[in-house]
Amino acid sequence: MIYLDIAVFALADADWQLALDPYIDFANYQLASFDMRLNVFPARPSIPTGIPLVGEVWDPPPDFGLHMRPGDVRTAAGVVLPTGHGMPVIFCRIHQPRDGLTTYQEDTVANRGVPWLNYVLLQQHVLSRDRSALLHEIIHAANYQGNIDPWGNRLLHDSARDSIMRMGDTYPTDPPVFMAERHAAALRTAYFARYA
């Protein structure tokens, strides 16, 4: 069995109740075929660790003013929970209309120059239509390489519409998404994967 250790946080103004349990259930359902499971801290039904910040998180930030970036909430997560419990997953208000985003270690703008290991932000008060947002972002954080959508030296997504790593919004006519062996292979080597 491989446990994927994640530590769940929520900003003070983030509404996480709608999505957290359905995201965990969907992820564990998909992961079970590959002898994997999420290990969530704090364990459900406990609430996520609170971060005393409010406001929108911008990625990329605008050219004017001071706006909160992903690295700001990641730094705050390290302050409220100094002992690591896996990869941070942070519910917050993401400025852009998206279900979630993964911030990579090499994204120096988003991280304000701090080389944080990959982590995930999830949009508060949103449950993605197919309930896949958490698992999709966790696979990104495992440094998965798809076949489309370049970002730096990465290809972020898969072209197949039934892939958990498909790009873009889901539509009623889209097929259900599934996790494949290539996604499990990335997860097995993730820094937050633990063999037991």
pTM of the predicted model as reported, rounded to 2 decimal places: 0.96
Residue with tokens 């990465």: 154
pLDDT over threshold 90, residue 6: yes
Confidence of residue 122 (pLDDT cuts 50, 70, 90): very high
Q: 168 falls in which pLDDT band (50, 70, 90)?
A: confident
Is 131 within the bounds of a domain? yes
Is residue 25 situated within a structural domain? yes
pLDDT at 171 over 80: no
Predicted pLDDT at 66:
84
Domain holding 65, by residue range, is 2-143+184-195
pLDDT over threshold 80, residue 65: no
pLDDT at 24 over 90: yes
Residue 40 lies in a domain: yes
What pLDDT was estimated at residue 173?
Answer: 81
The count of structural domains within the chain is 1
Looking at the DSSP bridge assignments, the partners of residue 103 are: 119
Residue 76 inside a domain? The answer is: yes
User: For the chain, how many residues are written?
Assistant: 196
**Mean pLDDT calculated for residue range 130-155:** 95
Q: Which residue has the higher pLDDT, 168 or 100?
A: 100
Pairing of strands 87-94, 2-11: parallel
d(CA 151, CA 166): 15
Under 8 Å between Cβ of 8 and 89: yes
Rounded-to-integer distance, Cα 111 and Cα 6, Å = 19
| Sign of the dihedral defined by the CA atoms of residues 93, 87, 105, 163, in that order | negative
Better pLDDT: 175 or 20? 20
Question: 11 phi and psi, to 5 degrees?
Answer: -65, 160
108 in a structural domain: yes
Round the average pLDDT of the chain to a whole number and report it: 94
